[in-house]
Amino acid sequence: MRYLEYGNTGKDVSVIGLGCMRMADLESRQADAVVRAALDSGINFFDHADIYGGGRSEEIFAGVLKKEPSLRDRLFIQSKCAIRDGMYDFSKDHILRSVDGILSRLGTDRLDCLLLHRPDALMEMDEVNSAFTELHKAGKVLSFGVSNMNRFQMELLQSGLDFQICADQLQMSLAHTPMIDEGINVNTYFDGAVTRASGTLEYCRLNSIVVQAWSPIQKGFFDGPFIGDEDYAELNKVLDSLAEQYNATPDAVAYAWLLRYPARMQVIIGTMNPQRIRNAAKAADICLTREQWYALYRAAGNELP
């Protein structure tokens, strides 16, 4: 496993993180096996959100910690808040209430990081900063980040914060590459030149913000994995070939493709299958060549100008 320093926290996190959205469906014994498989593979980063399973995912995870409290200090636990029914909410009151609920469900006294979950169009920077300040002073949250924000939204928020934005969690996979496309197709009439992310990846690189790639093997929004999908026959052909070369699984190669991008990259996997977790961890040991990276990009249906 490889690790990267998370913002200015001084903590090192695994480049593969385990997303716990589907943990709500597990029994206690299964959750134990999932967390153990992650830790045995060198994964120390666990990503939650207050909406995952209506809070049930955090409660199931808490059961694992309750059985073995000493695990807490080995884990980097992140959760997210701000999504409400029919709206997004960055108000101070909502952030504070949400964190108290998260900590209660997780059975812990602190979050290593809190992300704001999708942008709130009514965001007031001073209100967010006040919430973050109160949480940090109380020791409830040690660092902060965002999800699904573009560079200008982060720049705007950062202008009113006394805290560094440590991470931006963004959808990114071989079948979802608009942030990369807009850079490759600069100043052309190709569809890929359409600016959808406003140089978000470059902004993250300039400011040492960790890019957390979610849905790393998904096509579309939540339309299923491209691994083994006949609509991505050429991509799977190249993935299979590289998987054989690196003695890994095709999904591990797809994760390695993301990790090869020279930002502070972190891949958030969502599987609750212990063997798939172990397979995914091997991506950290794969360093694709430039030729292989571009071959995968083209095989996914992208043309170079």
- For the annotated catalytic residues, the residue numbers are 52
Q: What angle do CA 34, 40, 43 make, to 5 degrees?
A: 75
4 SS3 class: strand
Q: How far apart are CA 41 and CA 37, in angstroms?
A: 6
Q: Supply 35's token pair.
A: 């967390």
What count of Cα atoms within 13 Å lies in the side-chain half-sphere of residue 202? Answer: 11
Do the beta carbons of residue 22 and residue 56 sit within 8 Å?
A: no
Q: Which residues pair with 145 in a beta bridge?
A: 115
Q: How far apart are CA 305 and CA 302, in angstroms?
A: 10
10 Å Cβ neighbour count for 93? Answer: 10
Nearest by Cα to 108 from 146, 145, 61 = 61
Q: How far apart are CA 32 and CA 39, in angstroms?
A: 11
185 SS3 class: coil
Q: How far apart are CA 129 and CA 161, in angstroms?
A: 5
What are the DSSP E strand ranges found in 95-139?
113-117
| Terminal Cα distance for the chain, rounded | 35
Do the beta carbons of residue 186 and residue 195 sit within 8 Å?
A: no
Q: How far apart are CA 139 and CA 255, in angstroms?
A: 34
